[in-house]
Amino acid sequence: MADRIASALAQNLDSMPLLAHLEELRKRIILSVVGVVVGFFSCWSFADRIFALMQQPIIQALRHHGLGGGLVYLNPTEPFNLYLEVGFVAGLFVASPFVFLSTVVVRCSRAVSQKRSVMFCPF
């Protein structure tokens, strides 16, 4: 049993050197960052609408309890930072399927045999 595990580990170690693994990791990280940046810029234009949706239940709760008004910015840079954060979180949410699916497809396509990897071509 231990001999089979040792031989399987030796075969896997010979298949791809450490630098190739690091290069693949670098490519995955770059693609993930590019996906998140594209998601951020696409969602930043909608940050005011997204924040209005997030703010609506808070405003309703304040009015329900007799505390009129709205949310207050305590710092001059807070509105800008708030919209950056809303755009980033929404972009991360939008880009997460791309990042996750690209990673899973690459891992699965390398895990299966060469004949069966044809199934993953549509992704």
Pick the range with the lowest mean pLDDT from 4-13, 61-70, 82-91.
4-13
Interval 69-73 mean pLDDT: 79
Q: For the CA atoms of 39, 45, 46, 52, what is the dihedral angle to 10 degrees?
A: 130
The confidence band for 3, taking pLDDT boundaries of 50, 70 and 90, is: low
pLDDT tens-place string over residues 77-99: 998 999 999 999 999 999 988 88
The confidence band for 106, taking pLDDT boundaries of 50, 70 and 90, is: confident
pLDDT at 41: 93
Q: State whether the Cα torsion 60-65-68-74 is positive or negative.
A: negative
